[in-house]
């Protein structure tokens, strides 16, 4: 049985769950599972995996329909701007996700309910929960309701472009054609509190190294540092 009453949240989200336990799983962080003696699969990580795929498809279609004459490069770059941690975290804050997140004590005390990574991952998990509860059309409806403005801004170039996409973009627009490679070189820590070390290269030239709490986070931090190095190394 679900711990929380989600009726207010469901109204804001635009979907009423038949199985509220599924929504609760979407709000369950790995630290909560670890501290309460539950199994790893009872956290929102598996749902996050599916939600990421559903969002890619639906947002990709939204951009495709809005820009029928644009090429694949534009579509890919624009989707990266819309389907990113920062965009998802902002939407999650608007919907008050932090109020419902189930976190371990340490994660809660360190401000975990307002961390971009936790909010973005939870948003992806909630989309997956809608998908499993009501099907693809229901998930699409929720995405259209909550991401249409984000997609519009992405299409018009009005929102933040994630650092990884920005690095890939400039590597193709400086008179060079460098192959940018992100490599996860190490990971450590328990499942609920992992850290990942990432390195990024332009062809075989090392650009930067960074550590994050997820592979996506590590890649973004690495790309942010690499942009400055790339500009100073390959400026023409």
Q: What is the mean pLDDT of residues 110-124?
A: 92
Does residue 131 belong to any structural domain of this protein? yes
| Residue 126 CA: distances (Å) to CA of 14, 156, 168, 179, 184 | 12, 27, 30, 35, 27
In the prediction, which pLDDT does 1 show?
54
- The pair of structure tokens assigned to 4 is 């929380």
Does residue 1 belong to any structural domain of this protein? no
Q: Which has more pLDDT, 212 or 1?
A: 212
Does residue 152 belong to any structural domain of this protein? yes
Same domain, 57 and 26: yes
In the prediction, which pLDDT does 174 show?
57
Structural domain ending residue among the three candidates 140, 159, 178:
159
In the prediction, which pLDDT does 169 show?
79
Does residue 2 belong to any structural domain of this protein? no
Q: What is the mean pLDDT of residues 121-139?
A: 98
Instruction: Supply the CATH number for residue 66's domain.
Output: 1.10.1520.10
- Kindly tell me if the per-residue pLDDT of 61 is higher than 70: yes
- Kindly tell me if the per-residue pLDDT of 202 is higher than 70: yes
State yes or no: is 137 an active-site residue: no
Same domain, 190 and 116: no
In the prediction, which pLDDT does 215 show?
85
- Kindly tell me if the per-residue pLDDT of 37 is higher than 90: no
Q: Which of 22-31, 36-45, 144-153, 189-198 has the lowest mean pLDDT?
A: 189-198
In the prediction, which pLDDT does 234 show?
83
Same domain, 168 and 154: no
Same domain, 93 and 210: no
> Which residue range is the domain that position 102 belongs to?
7-159
The C-alpha atoms of residue 195 and residue 95 are separated, in whole angstroms, by 28
- The pair of structure tokens assigned to 187 is 């990971």
Q: What percent of the chain stands above pLDDT 90?
A: 64
Out of 124, 162, 217, 219, the active site residue is 124
Same domain, 182 and 92: no
Does residue 22 belong to any structural domain of this protein? yes
In the prediction, which pLDDT does 155 show?
92
Structural domain ending residue among the three candidates 144, 159, 174:
159
The C-alpha atoms of residue 67 and residue 63 are separated, in whole angstroms, by 6
Give the pLDDT confidence of 97-108 residue by residue, as tens digits.
999 999 999 999
Number of domains in the chain: 2
Q: What is the mean pLDDT of residues 72-95?
A: 89
DSSP string for residues in the chain: --SS--HHHHHHHT---S-HHHHHHHTB-HHHHHHTT--GGGSSHHHHHHHHHHHHHHHHHHHHHH-TT--HHHHHHHHHHHSSHHHHHHHHHHTTGGGT-B--HHHHHTTGGG-HHHHHHHHHHHHHHHHHHH-HHHHHHHHHHHHHHHHHHHHTT-SPPPHHHHHHHHTTSSS----EEEEEEEEES-GGG-EEEEEEEETTEEEEEEEESSHHHHHHHHHHHHHHHHHHHH--
Does residue 93 belong to any structural domain of this protein? yes
Same domain, 171 and 145: no
- Kindly tell me if the per-residue pLDDT of 43 is higher than 70: yes
191 pLDDT band (50/70/90 cuts)? confident
Same domain, 104 and 176: no
Structural domain ending residue among the three candidates 124, 140, 159:
159
Q: Which has more pLDDT, 73 or 206?
A: 206
Same domain, 134 and 175: no
Same domain, 87 and 183: no
Out of 24, 48, 52, 85, the active site residue is 52
State yes or no: is 71 an active-site residue: no
Q: Among 91-95, 153-157, 232-236, which range has the highest average pLDDT? A: 91-95
Same domain, 175 and 65: no
């Amino acid at each position: 049985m679900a711990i929380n009453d989600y009726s207010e949240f469901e109204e804001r989200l635009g979907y009423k769950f038949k199985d509220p336990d599924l929504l609760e799983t979407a709000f369950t962080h790995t630290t909560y599972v670890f501290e309460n003696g539950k199994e790893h699969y009872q956290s929102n990580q598996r749902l996050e995996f599916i939600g990421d795929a559903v969002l890619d498809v639906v947002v990709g279609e939204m951009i495709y329909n809005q820009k029928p004459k644009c090429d694949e490069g534009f579509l890919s770059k624009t989707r990266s701007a819309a389907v990113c941690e920062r965009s998802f975290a902002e939407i999650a804050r608007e919907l008050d996700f932090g109020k419902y997140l189930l976190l371990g004590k340490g994660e809660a005390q360190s401000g975990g309910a307002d961390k971009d990574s936790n909010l973005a991952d939870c948003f992806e998990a909630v989309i997956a929960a809608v998908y499993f509860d009501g099907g693809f059309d229901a998930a699409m409806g929720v995405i259209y309701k909550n991401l249409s403005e984000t997609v519009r801004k992405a299409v018009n170039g009005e929102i933040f472009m994630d650092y990884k996409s920005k690095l890939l973009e400039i590597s193709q627009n400086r008179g060079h054609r460098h192959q940018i490679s992100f490599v996860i070189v190490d990971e450590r820590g328990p499942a609920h509190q992992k850290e990942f070390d990432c390195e990024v290269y332009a062809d075989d030239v090392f650009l930067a190294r960074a550590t994050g709490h997820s592979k996506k986070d590590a890649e973004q931090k690495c790309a942010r540092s690499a942009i400055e190095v790339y500009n100073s190394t390959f400026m023409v």
